[in-house]
Structure 1
Amino acid sequence: MAKSGKSSASRIAVWGILLLLVAGLAGFGSGGLGGNIQTVGSVGDTPITVQEYQRGLQQELDFETRRRQQPVSMQTALQEGLDIRVRERLAASTALTEEARVMSLSVGDAEVLRQLQQVPAFQGPSGAFDRDAYEFALERSSLRPADFEDDLRKTAARELLQQAVTGGLTLNKSYAETLYGYLGQRRSFRWAELNADLLASPNAAPTDAQLQAFYDENGTQFETPEVRKISYAWLTPDMLVDDITPNEDELLALYEERSGEFNQPERRIVERLGFADTDAATAAKAAIDAGETSYDDLVTERGLTLEDVDQGEVSRDDLDGPIADAVFALTEPGITDPVETSLGPALYRVNAVLEAQETSFEEVRDDLVAEAAEDQARRAVLDKLTEVEDLLAGGATLEELGTDTELEFGQINFSDDEHEGIAGYDNFREEALLLREGDFPEARELSDGGIFAARLDEVVPPALPPLADIRDDVAAAWDAAETKRRLSELGESLKAQLDAGTAMEALGLVGRTETDRGRTEFIEGTPPALLVTAFDLEKASDTALIPTDDGAILVELLDISAADLSADEAQNFLTQLSQQGSAGLAADVFELYGQAVQARHGLSLDQVAINAVNASMR
């Protein structure tokens, strides 16, 4: 592997892989599953170890927990097939490891050491690789250096194999240019709205025969919705909260529990950018002070983003002494002088100064009363859930719940248009659509902590009222349709004259000109079809008539401007698209290669071992 010319981004990617590997290995030692099962399968002669499978499962569970923002159990993972996804991923990586082994592809000790030396977590106070820090980090994860370095060596070999397969794969330049040429093209056009004011006379009153014909042809738009007549009993926290008065001890306990919210020390919102040595940090600060560069530029030059250096909101107690002194010495946004940290010298940028906040109990007492009462009301309602379930199981009716318990009985004619009262809860709406006549009511929860039970009494299907009952509605709909028909005819006539060279204004139209519009722009007060149609026209002077809900729009194309491929915006787009496209192409090729390798070496799995690991993760 090359030892020079690597970008900062590449180095950081290596650090990230190593740190994730250490973190992922946490909790999984080298003892296997009870010391009896060592592997769950193999590709060729390369095993898929129990530790690898356990680690993969745990990483998948952690990822899904963060993504869903709620714990994901092993039982859920098995139901959703997440374990299969882990095994497929392991099989793919193991196949590549086996291929590298067969090819005798590996990296030497010097390369392994070089990569270890670049990981900040393995560095001492001087910024150099520290063997004690390295061994301590692995010991906390129940790992031996030899095992970790073997994993690192295999990973490096797979990366070499990937580079050999996908190196040099780049997207054809014409693809990016063609796409930008399409997206970056701009057009100028004129358009005019055709509305009822352009008609020579109002619509004549419809005859009885016309209304009857329109009613017969468009009856579905006048149908009443399906109505589900539902009886229900419900109880919500709001029904109880007015009768609840929290005592003073409860309020004081709640205040103490949330003291970190009400009383906060002085804080700073900071970013941290580390450097290899003090000279580099000092030179960077001098360049910033001289206006030769900026903090943002230094971050970008290192291959980082602002998210990478963000330290968030910190108090003095969150930082070590010298760092805290430097950061809190700034009373307004700015950049500190170089500060020594456990990972080497760094520059801290203070983006905001947050003053200390102290809120007394008396100031928030009313809010705490409301919060405590609402919490007690929610708990009181949920405490009723089991009681309601037992009563329903014993044959109690909803009406009896309304008289014998704190639940309130009600009835509703439920449809898609009904959103008042209990119909405003999504939980109830979902249940209302699932109910069937004859079903026994079951206790359910509402999104605000309430409970309810419901019974379907009757389904009233959609119905078309007699014409005599909705004559005014039908007449209004006929008038709108007639106006649209007449405007469409007028539009075709005006379009023909526009095609013959007559200007819009000469046709009595109020035209608007749009200059150099892009196809992804938005023109206020117009339907999306206007821009779409303008970009569908083939050449200047072409016209089109666009139907709208209440009329039409006449559009005339004036000019087509080709995308400027030499513009900075275009060059940035082409560069990014080429990089993304090339990466996608390489990923597709490598995936196909991996599938072929796996098929060639053969995959075998030990279902008994897999089941044992799955059971140990529950």
Structure 2
Amino acid sequence: DDLLAERNLKPADVDLGVITKDKLIDPAVAEATFGLAAPGVSPVIAGRFGPVMVRVSQITPAVTKSFDEVKADLKKEIATQRASQEISDQHDVIEDARAGGETLAEIATKYDLKLTNIAAVDKDGKDVPGLPAGLVSSAFDTDVGLENAPLSVSGGYVWYDVTAVTQARDRELSEVKDKIAEAWKREQVEEKLTAKANDLRDRLQKGEDIAKAAGDLGAEVKTVSDITRSTKASGDLTQAAILGTFSGPKGTAAVAAGAADQTKVVLVVTASEVPPYFSDAPDMAQAKSQLADQLSNDFLTGYMTQLQAELGGVSVNQAALAQAIGATQPGS
């Protein structure tokens, strides 16, 4: 308590609540904390990021689940392990077949695998949607007749061969004429649509009745109430429209992208109020969690910056840091 007071901290600032051992990212802290035989204060622990003291106020004994409780999870885990092993075995079989001179077409027929022939693709891969990540760049790093290592993708592998290379050239007008015309038409429609939506917004901002303004354009007026910042997009109420609702006070008019392609939503805020604060509301739990994550990231970033300034010439291994703190990327 004296340490908290000295640092201007409240108990809630350092309270982790009920937590399991695997949730403590620092092994030294985890071992010392769960090594306490009874509630109390631990000795000073040499943690990864500095000295740590832990106060345990309650110990809840571990619970062993019955077989029926974990049966479904076990089945799923076993099935996943078997599938992974089968994929690994099949990988070796296919690699052996390739080493023996069999083509991908022959291997696909022999083992009932899907063979996809791509007529042509540019380096951006734009003309062939749905290709595995890294396939196009890998194909452009090899050449005709070379045997390529398979690409690891989610749940399996992809084998590929380059059968022909067409030298880069500027396309002739006849090849791109239709695409150019379509792009020009879309651009013209978008410009006119945006101008009309902005004009309607300006009229509404000046106080014109929305029903009259919409009637002039043959547009439909819809009313939506009880919108919060966490409201989910639905139908004509797009995420952009929700954000536009909070762009100003009562009377604010805004333009947002519509749900359908090349459509706009023009909205007017007719009422606005600050909701009462309830600390135990479901929305607040999510907000608290997000705020806690942000504060944790800020503290860690500040700590690393200070260390680098004190030690001088020190760089941070971001991958190792992410692994140490259990993050998928630095600061997350």
Match of 2:256 in 1: 546
1:124 corresponds in structure 2 to: none
Q: Is the 8 A contact 2:255 2:267 kept in 1?
A: yes
Alignment match, 1:311: 64
Structure 1 residue 385 corresponds to structure 2 residue 95: yes
Match of 1:459 in 2: 166
Aligned 8 A contact 1:488 1:547 in 2? no
SS at match of 1:312: coil
Q: For the residues of structure 1 that align with 2:291 and 2:168, how far apart are their CA atoms?
A: 57
TM-score norm. by structure 1 comes to 0.32
**In structure 1, how many angstroms separate the alpha carbons of the residues matched to 2:31 and 2:147?**
48
Aligned pair partner of 2:246 in 499, 511, 535:
535
Aligned counterpart for 1:487 among listed residues 185, 190, 193 = 193
| Structure 1 residue 535 displacement after superposition | 1.2
User: Partner residue of 2:220?
Assistant: 510
Q: Secondary structure at the match of 2:119?
A: strand
AA aligned to 2:229 is R
What is the letter of the counterpart of residue 161 of structure 2?
A
Amino acid at match of 1:461: A
What residue number does 1:67 align with? none
**Counterpart in the other structure of 1:559:** 271
Partners of 1:588 and 1:12 lie apart in 2 by 23
- CA, structure 1 residues 379+566, in 2 after alignment: closer, same or farther (shift >3 Å)? closer
AA matched with 2:246? F
Residue pairs, 1:233-312, within 5 angstroms: 311-312=64-65
**Structure 1 residues 13 and 153, CA gap change in structure 2 (3 angstroms):** farther
Contact map agreement 1:441 1:455 (CA 8 A) in 2: no
Distance, in Å, in 2 between the alignment partners of 1:571 and 1:521 is 11
1:13–1:484 Cα change, 3 Å: closer
What letter matches 1:520 in structure 2?
S
Shift of 1:488: 3.1
Aligned 1:381-530 pairs, distance under 5 A: 382-383=92-93, 385-386=95-96, 388-389=98-99, 401-402=102-103, 412-415=118-121, 416=125, 417-418=127-128, 429=136, 431-435=138-142, 437=143, 440-442=146-148, 444=150, 452=159, 454-455=161-162, 457-461=164-168, 463-466=170-173, 474-507=180-213, 508=215, 509-525=219-235, 526-530=237-241
CA separation of 1:380 and 1:303: change in aligned 2, threshold 3 A: closer
Q: Partner residue of 1:569? A: 281
Q: 1:499 offset after TM fit, Å?
A: 3.1
Deviation at 1:451? 7.9
Find the residue that maps to 2:232 and give its secondary structure. coil
Contact 2:28 2:45 in 1 (8 A): no
Query: Secondary structure in 1 aligned to 2:224?
Result: strand
Q: Over residues 305-339 of structure 1, what are the superposed CA-to-partner deviations in whole Å (9 max), with x where a residue is unaligned?
A: xxx85533426xxxxxxxxxxxxxxxxxxxxxxxx
More helix by share: 1
Equivalent position amino acid for 1:498 in 2? L
In the comparison of the two structures, how many residue pairs are matched? 264
Residue 488 of structure 1 aligns to a residue whose secondary structure is helix
User: Match for residue 118 of structure 1?
Assistant: 38
> Equivalents in 1 of 2:298, 2:135: separation in Å?
49
Equivalent residues in 2 for 1:31-180, closer than 5 Å: 116-118=36-38, 153=43, 155=45
Residue 432 of structure 1: how far off its partner (Å): 1.8
Please tell me the residue identity of whatever aligns with 1:311: T
Give 3-state SS (helix, strand or coil) of 2:225's partner. strand
Q: Is the 8 A contact 1:491 1:552 kept in 2?
A: yes
Q: State the one-letter code of the partner of 1:155.
A: I
Greater Rg by CA: 1
Please give the secondary structure, in 1, of the residue aligned with 2:146: coil
1:429-480 Cα deviation digits (max 9, x unpaired): 5632432x467334547768778562453135375442x6665555554444
Alignment of 1:8-23 (within 5 A): none
State how far apart, in whole Å, the 1-side matches of 2:294 and 2:91 are. 58
Q: Distance in 2 between matches of 1:577 and 1:450?
A: 38
Contact 1:427 1:446 in 2 (8 A): no
Deviations 1:45-85 (A, max 9, x none): xxxxxxxxxxxxxxxxxxxxxxxxxxxxxxxxxxxxxxxxx
- In the alignment, the residues of structure 2 paired with residue 463 and residue 454 of structure 1 have an alpha-carbon distance, to the nearest angstrom, of 25
Deviations, residues 567-606 of structure 1 (Å, cap 9, x unaligned)? 64299659957994898499669958x959x97xxxxxxx
Q: What residue in structure 2 maps to residue 94 of structure 1? A: none
- 1:524 counterpart letter in structure 2: S
Structure 2 residue matching 1:546: 3-state secondary structure = strand
Q: Where does the alignment leave 5 or more consecutive residues of structure 2 unmatched? A: 3-10, 73-81, 110-114, 312-332
Q: What is the deviation of 1:559?
A: 2.3
Q: Deviations over 1:269-304 (max 9, x none)?
A: xxxxxxxxxxxxxxxxxxxxxxxxxxxxxxxx9676
* Residue deviations 1:359-382 (CA, integer Å, cap 9, x gap): xxxxxxxxxxxx99x96x985773
CA displacement at 1:524 relative to structure 2: 1.2
Q: Which is strand-richer, 1 or 2?
A: 1
Identity of aligned residues (%): 11
The one-letter amino acid of 1:483's match is V
Change (3 A) 1:531 1:118: same
